[in-house]
Structure 1
Amino acid sequence: MTGHISRRKLLAAAVAVPVLMGTAAACGDDEGGDDGNVELSVFWWGAEARAALTEKALALYTSKHPTVTFKKTWQANQGYFDKLATLTAGGNPPDLFQIDDNYIAEYASRNVTLDLTPYKDDGRLDVSKFPESLWKYGEVDGKLAGLAFGENTQGLVFNKSLLDKFQLPAPTTGMTWEQHIAWAVTVSKTAKVPGTMDPSGSYQAFWVWLRQQGKDLYNGKELGFTAQDVTAWFELWKGARDKGATPPADVIHEGNVTDISKQLVVTGKAATSWVWANQMPELKKNTKDELGVVAFPGDPSAQWARASMYFSVFRGSKHKDTAVDVANFLANDPEAGKILGTDRGLPSNLDVRKVVADSVTDPAMKQSIAVEAELVPKFGPAPAVPLPGHSKVKTELVKAAEEAQYGRQTPAQAAEAYVTAAKSAIGQG
């Protein structure tokens, strides 16, 4: 037996911390030092570019609020939530921390996050310029667990240089899944590069496809799909693989496990990758080729204004009022918005978004903004925030898809195994 402790066990241990600390913190105003100064701990994930921008925006806050300084910690995405769970369980959680929809329900259900509803209601947290569906995507069981810190949606990124070289048409928003696969077959035959990454293990793609079938990833506290739905999804992509539209299983595996900087569309191993639209700048840094981006195939109303990530406040923080004010500043101050740009997605505040859009010079950022602007009128309603256990639901989809991709199981067998694992992940009996 090793000494390793799972993130879930660490998070479970963290429950006691906010319960013990939250009572004292809730009784009064923020507790500053003897000199009235406050040092606020802030934790986020991201690359060095995000770190530099965030630190600059926090310095702007300090310039306007000299009694507030920051203890800043950041790291790459990998291992971030293990570290956050460790800090929380160890009684040393950050006052303000970045989180996404993979984990927000889990942290909220364990009473780690502060309910921001009272701050929203009295105006200390201003969401009046946010799209309503966007800020509501931070609600968990009627409590506002996090402030949406950017709008994003799914994006099919393609290698425009490759297509132009062989005089091939670009994919378009609104093409059906079957049309996309047929297009990818043509690319594979003509350019000798697989036309599309196989997204059968991508929860983003599966989720959009489900919504186009009138279903959803979750339905209340249960899965919103059946083994028959998953079988149909896996069969769709088995057909694509059999036609040569995708790379072989070993290369698909690379696309499944790698980070954004090594997606197949930039390593030259596929003409398209299935990502989030705001990741265009990071992709572009890793290729000399020109890239384009459109919506996922099918009816674009299945996509929605997703909160790319949130800032949440620790419920037991001694400086919770200050932490909320900092989050409010970063989201709503135009000067801070210009600093942060679109690194975390399009700014949630629509006025700030316009300021940022007008000031952007990066062509890849302009593409992200343009595709989002094109799709906003077509978006459907946002789904509920994913259930606790969602991160496991995602990883189990990759595992099941790969069983089918490698031919170790039939699509039906892999689908049955996936539904069983996904039900277990969310505690569905």
Structure 2
Amino acid sequence: MHPASSPTADAPRDHRTPFRRGRRLRALVAAVVALPLVLGAAACGGEDNEASTDPNAPVELSIFWWGGEARANLTEQALALYTQKHPNVTFKKTWQANQGYFDKLATLTAGGDAPDIFQIDDNFLTEYASRNTTLDLTSYKDDNKLDVTKFPESLWQYGVVDGKLAGIASGENTQGLVYNKTLLQKHNLPEPTTGMTWEAFISWAEQVSKTTGTPGTMDPSADYKAFWVWLRQQGKDLYKGKDLGFDEADVTRWFELWKGARDRGATPTADVIHEGNATDITKQLVVTGKAATSFVWVNQLPELKKNTKDELGVIAYPGDPSAQWARASMYWSVFRGTKHKDVAVDVLNFLSNDPEAGKILGTDRGLPSNLDVRKTVSDAVTDPAMKTSIQVETDLATKFGPSPQVPLKGHSKVRAELIKSAEEAQYNRQTPAQAAAAFLTACKSAIV
């Protein structure tokens, strides 16, 4: 199971709905030349163009998502169940791997062939919502036609952009600190605990390093997830309105915190830290044996476990856990210009809340958003690592604080620049202050 932001290993595929070469080229030109204009124009007046008032009239909805074969099979089974319960509704299904997905979505949208329903993540939700490409789902939520009453509140709120509900979470995830229980037990060392301060955690990691010879923790100074949680614990945020929610002094403090950890031997060397900065599960230091902990997503625990014989545990990130929130692993959004908005929203409601659909979809897109459905799915899980993942995230849900705003356009660039600047400090090519200044300048350019 992959978080929304992580590319899958599958080769790009497109086999449900092939696109002819000429049409693809024309659409690509439209995407490059006129994307900002067309996205808005295509949506104008779209909220009032329901095709028919007859509830039994035939409806074909186009739906587009990314993922591998397994996700495609599960999604198609769930959609087939919807058709079984609503025989007049059928689906034109298209899917492909993560790589190139958003290029294709932009092309389809700009070319006037936008899917009625599409999968999206928090890297792009603000961009599409700000261009009026996504249908505002607020009225459906308020009328309970899109039922979020069983969602953690911060989960559905994490789909709100500029006061409009632009997407509904198809699954939940949150940040998790995964640690090597076997290593700690072997050396009679205590396990880290949720709620310990960052300073206490670094001291714990230093002791692990001295006792075991294995660095106690991955250096997460390049990890936007860790930086974001730390900022929220300081009363700041990653974004605020249309601007950054932090300043150069905040970044300097963050980089200095981890320089101190490196100087104390609590982390590996810069070359090993660089390995851990990769998103590939197989390269995470907690499973390669190069650190006792890694900063990942809670739902990655089962995949991490496949890469090590050691027993793993998972807790919240250090500091106050209320800084964490129920993050949408990904969303479903409805195209504002669809001719079948009511039906499309009903499909989203079905995928989110129907118990049978929940059993089919399982945890492929994260833990089910509906807590009742999640319990049903959890009761059927036999994999110990998956059970642990579900239990930890469900327990953390009782400690979650309010969700932050959805990231601004340029978020993926901000993430990349954090890695670049943090590594400058990790390799001692720049001081924490110099690296922080470079990062802030790059961030301001990225979100313009």
What is the TM-score normalised by the length of structure 1? 0.89
Match of 2:368 among 330, 342, 347: 347
Indicate how the Cα distance of structure 1 residues 194 and 90 shifts in structure 2: closer, same or farther if over 3 A, else same: farther
Deviating more after overlay: 195-204 vs 121-130? 121-130
| Distance in 2 between residues matched to 1:41 and 1:133, nearest whole Å | 29
- AA matched with 1:424: S
Conservation of the 8 A alpha-carbon contact between 1:278 and 1:343:
no
- AA matched with 1:113: T
- AA matched with 1:125: L
SS state at 1:183 partner: helix
Indicate whether 1:233 and 2:254 are aligned: yes
How far is 1:130 from its partner? 2.2
- AA matched with 2:165: L
Conservation of the 8 A alpha-carbon contact between 1:18 and 1:314:
no
Indicate whether 1:157 and 2:178 are aligned: yes
Match of 1:94 among 115, 122, 140: 115
| Distance in 2 between residues matched to 1:340 and 1:55, nearest whole Å | 10
Partner of 1:133: 154
Partner of 1:258: 279
Indicate how the Cα distance of structure 1 residues 188 and 41 shifts in structure 2: closer, same or farther if over 3 A, else same: farther
Match of 2:379 among 358, 365, 381: 358
- Cα shift readout 1:146-173 (whole Å, capped 9, x = no counterpart): 0122232210011222323333322111
| Distance in 2 between residues matched to 1:265 and 1:87, nearest whole Å | 41
How far is 1:391 from its partner? 1.9
| Structure 2, unaligned runs of 5 or more | 1-27
| Distance in 2 between residues matched to 1:10 and 1:251, nearest whole Å | 40
Match of 1:120 among 121, 130, 141: 141
Indicate whether 1:378 and 2:399 are aligned: yes
| Structure 1, unaligned runs of 5 or more | 1-6
- Cα shift readout 1:66-119 (whole Å, capped 9, x = no counterpart): 333333333443443233223323333322122222221111111221111232
| Distance in 2 between residues matched to 1:377 and 1:238, nearest whole Å | 33
SS state at 2:333 partner: strand
Indicate whether 1:243 and 2:264 are aligned: yes
Indicate how the Cα distance of structure 1 residues 271 and 334 shifts in structure 2: closer, same or farther if over 3 A, else same: same
- AA matched with 2:65: W
Indicate how the Cα distance of structure 1 residues 215 and 21 shifts in structure 2: closer, same or farther if over 3 A, else same: closer
Indicate how the Cα distance of structure 1 residues 387 and 340 shifts in structure 2: closer, same or farther if over 3 A, else same: same
RMSD value, Cα:
2.5
Match of 1:309 among 316, 325, 330: 330
What is the TM-score normalised by the length of structure 2? 0.86
| Distance in 2 between residues matched to 1:287 and 1:313, nearest whole Å | 40
| Distance in 2 between residues matched to 1:83 and 1:42, nearest whole Å | 13
Aligned-pair identity (%):
75
Partner of 1:4: none
How far is 1:273 from its partner? 1.3
- AA matched with 1:52: N
Conservation of the 8 A alpha-carbon contact between 2:169 and 2:330:
yes
| Distance in 2 between residues matched to 1:167 and 1:15, nearest whole Å | 59
Indicate how the Cα distance of structure 1 residues 195 and 46 shifts in structure 2: closer, same or farther if over 3 A, else same: farther
Indicate how the Cα distance of structure 1 residues 162 and 62 shifts in structure 2: closer, same or farther if over 3 A, else same: farther
How far is 1:317 from its partner? 2.6
- Cα shift readout 1:44-66 (whole Å, capped 9, x = no counterpart): 23344333322222222222223
Conservation of the 8 A alpha-carbon contact between 1:198 and 1:252:
yes
1:183-262 equivalences under 5 Å are 183-262=204-283
How far is 1:36 from its partner? 5.3
| Distance in 2 between residues matched to 1:40 and 1:184, nearest whole Å | 52
Conservation of the 8 A alpha-carbon contact between 1:17 and 1:316:
no
Indicate how the Cα distance of structure 1 residues 423 and 373 shifts in structure 2: closer, same or farther if over 3 A, else same: same
Partner of 2:429: 408
| Distance in 2 between residues matched to 1:19 and 1:300, nearest whole Å | 39
SS state at 2:369 partner: coil
Indicate how the Cα distance of structure 1 residues 291 and 317 shifts in structure 2: closer, same or farther if over 3 A, else same: same
Partner of 2:17: none
Deviating more after overlay: 35-44 vs 178-187? 35-44
Conservation of the 8 A alpha-carbon contact between 1:146 and 1:310:
yes
How far is 1:397 from its partner? 1.0
Indicate whether 1:276 and 2:297 are aligned: yes
Partner of 1:64: 85
